[in-house]
Structure 1
Amino acid sequence: MPSAPDPRVTLIGKPGCHLCEAARAVVAEVTAELGESFTEVSILDSPDLMARYAEEIPVTLVDGRQHDYWRVDPARLRAALARPPA
């Protein structure tokens, strides 16, 4: 049986972040609607992510590339996921 493809969307945030909670809701809704999946990573678990994104969370990556930060626009995320993976 083939394994599921890696999630195309990564949400980078941290616990207790209200903007991260709002971003998670948008990402979850859009990915479910499009049959995609997402993964979530905390900057608290990675010094590299903390150094890179501390002032920008939440950050969304699509296909490994930075897509948005602070707020996730559902229409923009749908459009990015409509394109084939890079």
Structure 2
Amino acid sequence: MTPTPPSDVPEGEVSAPRVELLTRPGCHLCADARAVVELVCGELAVPWRELSTEERSDLLEKFAEEIPVLFIDGVQRDFWKIDERRLRSLLAP
């Protein structure tokens, strides 16, 4: 059975994964993670966004000990250190 694409995606076209990186200001691990996400997503032309714990206190409470946290399509995929090779494989079509 073939999954049905969301209604805003033309038939036969696959939507890009939703990549989000949860960070905290002043976090050196977050800076490292941001650099990896920028590099890989830039090379693969995958859009991504950064979520700050300053703006999302609900996420800070939930993930305080794991920041930075990488989410792909709403699923937590990595935390603390984002591995470039693993991210590439997670985003591969």
TM-score range, shorter chain: 0.7 to 0.9
Output the TM-score relative to the length of structure 1.
0.85
1:74 maps to a residue whose letter is E
How much identity, in percent, do the aligned residues show?
49
The structural deviation recorded for 1:36 is 0.4
The structural deviation recorded for 1:6 is 7.2
Trace 1:52-71 onto structure 2 (pairs within 5 A).
52-71=62-81
Whole-Å separation in 1 of the counterparts to 2:71 and 2:84: 14
Q: CA RMSD in A?
A: 1.7
Find out whether 1:15 has 2:25 as its counterpart: yes
| Runs of at least 5 residues in structure 1 that lack an aligned partner in the other structure | none
Equivalent in the alignment of 2:57: 47
> Highest CA radius of gyration, 1 or 2?
2
Name the structure with the higher helix share. 1
Aligned residues: 80
| Runs of at least 5 residues in structure 2 that lack an aligned partner in the other structure | 1-7, 9-14
1:38-71 per-position Cα deviation (integer Å, ceiling 9, x unaligned): 1001112122101111110000001110010000
* Matched-pair contact (CA < 8 Å) for 2:16–2:46: no
Displaced runs of 4 or more, over 4 A: none
